[in-house]
């Protein structure tokens, strides 16, 4: 049995160059199906993974190899992507349509990922069509390796909280609304771990401390998270250990993940765990239950209120979230991380979101370019040198303020450069931006137009590195990012209607060296489609 296992690993090592023999392996087999779910009391078609909604949790340790075989039993193509997993040198496994061919109905694909040098809380989600509105997402937690000190005592339990807005309408109906050129209607409610009002219970023992890893897996709204009568000590943001500030309510924008420690230090009874929508009218609210073991006293009083439309409250909270410089742990960029604020950037990219009408339809754009997918994944077109799929420089790296237009937009970037990216939001709704393959330093954010003078307000000392950042209405957010990961990486709005209708592009981080040290070779099992059909992943 043991020999067989080693043999399997040996074979996989040959098949899947993304994995590394010296680090442990974890194997997953996932069957993706449609199934009935009733999260808001009405029957819906959900996307289940191994029969579950939300999908199974991935538990890993830094540097583990994850071998995940996904069997697509839906009636349509399917892909899973991994929000926040950095996929070092390996955009082949990113699971976005620009990097991977969809898994056709009835077929399977095996992802081989390594969670290299990462810790923290993340999630996976279905990336094609509007599948995310049907579920198919789940939590990912990456623990520190044994003997690596963690800057807080081991909690007595570790809860995943996948929360976000939800629609009663089928994902295909929502997609149809978007395809016809309309924005989505207002969501019907909020869910916590796939359940509506008091549908989910977190059980705690009095006196003990628990970790809650909260991700906003919703489609369109920021949320606020709080627990009646309890304080939350923030310890981690998307892989960065933070200064351990205490909060009574925490804003979580689309696609973001936070870890807090909560001590069950109140009289034993049931308490509300509350999630409400931010910057919306009306305000949506849902609750789960924090249940003290052995207690028989139920919920009492109304669920605690939280901030609703206040932007300053959120901005001040965002500025209070800082890195614990003395805590050890893997860092996004070991050389630069202690001095990230002192390194000179070689380029400033400014990205402005907009909501143009194009050909009479609502679209969303970055620097006036509204992304349209190509029939061949961009990464494969690049690898096989298939012309005419995309052009480098098909999106300007600063706002042009011209009319919106459709384009398969790819921006070029130099491997090993250190760049400043300014997200400029002139719209009156909060934005949430995610960059695949990277963790970046959040330098600053403020109202109005960014100018070079805005750099005077940057946090050059102890900001967090993360993968998803908000931009407040009529405001800017600036980040620094070390382009140390070769690949074709999706940069996108985490507002799922906006990304679907074009608020995204790909960043091609290129190394001319063409060396396996810089980028892993194409997997032998890579699916091929579009104009890459019939090509060979290895020279004949």
Ligand X SMILES: *[C@@H]1O[C@H](CO)[C@@H](O)[C@H](O)[C@H]1NC(C)=O
Q: What is the Cα–Cα distance from 19 to 63, expressed in whole angstroms?
A: 10
Measured from the CB atom, is 90 or 324 closer to ligand X? 324
State the residue for tokens 């402005």: 352
In the complex, the smallest distance separating the C-beta of residue 359 from ligand X, rounded to whole angstroms, is: 38
Which C-beta is closer to ligand X: that of 244 or that of 394?
244
Q: Smallest gap, in angstroms, from Cβ of residue 325 to ligand X?
A: 8
For 503, phi then psi, to 5°, come to -85, 70
Q: Which two tokens stand for residue 20?
A: 């590394």
DSSP conformation letters of 145-178: PTTS--SSPPPSEEEEEEEEEE-SS-HHHHHHHH
The closest alpha carbon to 494, from 86, 220, 94, belongs to 220
Q: Least CB distance from residue 210 to ligand X, whole Å?
A: 18
Asked if 234 contacts 323 with a C-beta cutoff of 8 angstroms, the reply is no
Do 353 and 368 meet the contact criterion of CB atoms below 8 Å apart?
Answer: no
Number of residues counted as binding ligand X (CB under 6 A): 9
The conformation of residue 311, written as its DSSP 8-state character, comes to H
- Among the listed residues 430, 392, 440, the one whose alpha carbon sits nearest the alpha carbon of residue 412: 392
Q: Judging by DSSP bridges, how do beta strands 58-61 and 138-143 pair with one another? A: parallel
Q: Residues 44, 65, 324, 362: which binds ligand X (CB under 6 A)?
A: 324
Scan residues 107-136 and list those touching ligand X (CB under 6 A). 107-108
Residue 146 CB neighbour total at 10 angstroms: 7
Distance separating alpha carbons of residues 354 and 401, to the nearest angstrom: 9
Q: How far is the CB of 319 from ligand X (least distance, A)?
A: 16
The residue to which tokens 């099992």 are assigned: 525
Report H helices in 217-349.
311-320
Instruction: Give 95 or 437: the residue with its C-beta nearer to ligand X.
Output: 95
**Sole residue written with tokens 């400033």:** 348
Q: Closer CB to ligand X, residue 172 or residue 327?
A: 327
Stretch that binds ligand X, among 54-62, 186-194, 320-328, 424-432 (CB under 6 A): 320-328
Comparison of 20 and 31: residue with beta carbon closer to ligand X: 31
Nearer to ligand X, 109 or 318 (CB): 109
Based on CB atoms, which residue is closest to ligand X, 27 or 186? Answer: 27
- Which CB, 15 or 61, lies closer to ligand X? 15
| β-strands 209-216, 157-166 pairing | parallel
Q: Name the one residue in this structure whose structure tokens are 């067989």.
A: 4
**Binding to ligand X in span 24-53, by CB under 6 A:** none
For ligand X, which stretch binds (CB under 6 A), given 111-119, 257-265, 319-327, 421-429?
319-327
CB of 68 to ligand X, least distance (A): 13
- DSSP for 87-112, please give it: -TT-GGGS-STTTS--B-TT-EEEEE
The contacts of residue 58 (CB under 8 Å, 6+ apart) are: 26, 28, 66, 68, 124, 138, 139, 140, 141
Please report the beta strands in 293-402, taking only residues with DSSP state E, as ranges in sequence order: 347-354, 357-358, 361-362, 365-366, 369-371, 391-392
Q: What residues contact 279, with CB distance under 8 A and at least 6 apart? A: 221, 222, 308, 309, 311, 429, 430, 473
Sign of the Cα torsion 290, 291, 292, 296 reads positive
CA distance readout (Å), 153 to 106, 146, 149, 211, 248: 46, 14, 9, 10, 21
User: Contact region for ligand X (CB under 6 A) — 55-63, 214-222, 321-329, 447-455?
Assistant: 321-329
Tell me whether residue 12 or residue 243 sits nearer to ligand X (CB atom): 243
- Name the one range near ligand X by CB under 6 A: 205-213, 324-332, 365-373, 506-514: 324-332
Looking at beta carbons only, is 110 or 424 nearer to ligand X?
A: 110
Compute the least distance from the CB of residue 525 to ligand X, in Å.
Answer: 7
| 326 part of the interface to ligand X, by CB under 6 A | yes
What is the smallest separation between the CB atom of 305 and ligand X, expressed in angstroms? 28
**Looking at beta carbons, which residue is closest to ligand X?**
151
Q: Which residues pair with 214 in a beta bridge?
A: 161, 258
Least separation in angstroms between CB 307 and ligand X: 24
Least distance from ligand X to the Cβ atom of residue 421, Å: 28
Q: Does 183 bind ligand X (CB under 6 A)?
A: no
276: contact with ligand X by CB under 6 A: no
Give the DSSP letter of residue 56.
P
Interface mask toward ligand X for 227-266; x: CB under 6 A: ----------------xx----------------------
* Range in contact with ligand X (rule: CB under 6 A) among 11-19, 171-179, 323-331, 499-507: 323-331
- By CB under 6 A, residue 151 contacts ligand X: yes
Q: How many residues does the chain have?
A: 540
Q: How far is the CB of 107 from ligand X (least distance, A)?
A: 6
- Could you tell me which of 500, 489, 464 has the C-alpha nearest to residue 479? 464
Specify the residue, 201 or 328, whose C-beta has the smaller distance to ligand X.
Answer: 328
The distance of closest approach from Cβ of residue 246 to ligand X in the complex, given in angstroms and rounded to an integer, is 10
Does the protein bind ligand X through residue 537 (CB under 6 A)? Answer: no
**Tokens linked to 325:** 């410089």
Residue placing its CB nearer to ligand X in the complex, 320 or 403 = 320
Q: Does 327 bind ligand X (CB under 6 A)?
A: yes
Residue 460 as a binder of ligand X (CB under 6 A): the answer is no
As measured in angstroms, the least distance from the Cβ of 128 to ligand X is 18
Choose between 107 and 145: whose C-beta lies nearer to ligand X.
107
**In the complex, minimum distance from the CB of residue 324 to ligand X, in angstroms, rounded to a whole number:** 4
Residues that bind ligand X (CB under 6 A): 107-108, 149, 151, 243-244, 324, 326-327
């Amino acid at each position: 049995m043991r020999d067989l296992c080693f043999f399997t690993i040996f074979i996989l090592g040959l098949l899947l160059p993304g994995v590394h023999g010296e680090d442990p392996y974890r194997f997953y087999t996932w069957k993706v199906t449609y199934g009935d779910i009733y999260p808001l009391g009405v029957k819906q078609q959900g996307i289940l993974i191994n029969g579950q909604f939300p999908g199974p949790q991935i538990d890993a340790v830094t540097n583990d190899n994850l071998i995940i075989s996904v069997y697509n039993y839906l009636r349509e193509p399917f892909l899973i992507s991994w929000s926040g997993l950095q996929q070092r040198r390996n955009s082949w496994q990113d699971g976005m349509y620009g990097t991977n061919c969809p898994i056709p109905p009835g077929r399977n694909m095996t992802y081989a990922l390594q969670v290299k040098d990462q810790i923290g809380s993340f999630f996976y989600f279905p990336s094609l069509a509007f599948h995310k509105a049907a579920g198919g997402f789940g939590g990912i937690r990456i623990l520190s390796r044994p003997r690596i000190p963690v800057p807080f005592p081991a909690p007595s339990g570790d809860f995943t909280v996948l929360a976000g807005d939800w629609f009663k309408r089928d994902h295909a109906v929502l997609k149809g609304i978007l395809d016809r050129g309309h924005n989505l209607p207002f969501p019907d409610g909020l869910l916590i771990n796939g359940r509506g009002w008091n549908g989910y219970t977190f059980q705690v023992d009095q006196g003990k401390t628990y970790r809650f890893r909260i991700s906003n897996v919703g489609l369109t709204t920021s949320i606020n998270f709080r627990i009646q009568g309890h304080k939350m000590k923030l310890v981690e943001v998307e892989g960065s250990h933070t200064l351990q500030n205490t909060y009574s309510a925490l804003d979580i924008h689309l696609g973001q993940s936070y870890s807090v420690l909560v001590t069950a230090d109140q009289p034993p009874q049931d308490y509300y765990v509350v999630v409400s929508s931010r910057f919306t009218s009306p305000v949506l609210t849902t609750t789960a239950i924090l249940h003290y073991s052995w207690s028989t006293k139920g919920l009492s009083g109304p669920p605690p209120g939280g901030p609703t439309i206040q932007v300053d409250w959120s901005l001040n909270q965002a500025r209070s979230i800082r890195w614990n410089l003395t805590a050890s742990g893997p860092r996004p960029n070991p050389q630069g991380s202690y001095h990230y604020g002192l390194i000179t950037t070689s380029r400033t990219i400014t990205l402005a979101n907009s909501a143009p009408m194009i050909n009479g339809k609502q679209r969303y754009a970055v620097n006036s370019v509204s992304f349209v997918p190509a029939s061949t994944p961009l990464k494969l077109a690049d690898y096989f040198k298939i012309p005419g799929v995309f052009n480098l420089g098909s999106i300007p790296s600063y706002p042009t303020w011209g009319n919106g237009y459709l384009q398969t937009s790819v921006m070029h970037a130099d491997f090993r450069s250190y760049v400043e990216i300014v997200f400029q939001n002139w719209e009156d709704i909060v934005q949430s931006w995610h960059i695949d393959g990277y963790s970046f330093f959040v330098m600053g954010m403020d109202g109005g137009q960014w100018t070079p003078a805005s750099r005077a307000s940057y946090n050059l000392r102890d900001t967090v590195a993360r993968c998803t950042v908000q931009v407040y209405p009529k405001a800017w957010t600036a980040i620094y990012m070390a382009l140390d990961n070769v690949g074709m990486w999706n940069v996108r709005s985490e507002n799922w209607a906006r990304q679907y209708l074009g608020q995204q592009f790909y960043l091609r981080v290129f190394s001319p060296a063409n060396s396996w040290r810089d980028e892993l070779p194409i997997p032998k099992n890579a699916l091929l489609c579009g104009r890459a059909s019939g090509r060979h992943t290895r020279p004949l």
